[in-house]
């Protein structure tokens, strides 16, 4: 899937310039793997095939947003536009 927009500046810099300075150092390799997977996937259900990422949709005011575990506190979150097959509002956040 194509990534339409990225909210987290450090994550955007990592995607555009391979500059990891805005990310948690212990998470860089896992973030790289997740981003590669997201760009190659065809359907969101593929996310459930990797149990260590604990893929799930958020509820409440974040309903429809996917969350993938990067570290104990940090998550990659995003929404999916199914019609356009694009990832929206890609973020790297500690929402706990």
Which residues are catalytic, by number? 96
Letter string b/e over residues 51-67, b meaning 16 or more CB atoms within 10 A of that residue's CB: eebebeeeeeeeeebbb
């Amino acid at each position: 899937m194509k990534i339409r927009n990225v909210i987290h500046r450090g994550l955007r810099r990592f995607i555009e310039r391979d500059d990891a300075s805005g990310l948690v150092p212990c998470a860089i390799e896992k973030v790289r793997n997740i981003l590669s997977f997201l760009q190659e996937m065809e359907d969101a259900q593929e996310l459930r095939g990797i149990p260590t990422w604990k893929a799930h949709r958020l509820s409440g005011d974040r309903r429809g947003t996917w969350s993938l575990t990067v570290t104990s506190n940090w998550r990659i979150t995003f929404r999916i536009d199914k019609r356009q097959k694009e990832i929206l509002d890609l973020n790297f956040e500690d929402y706990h």
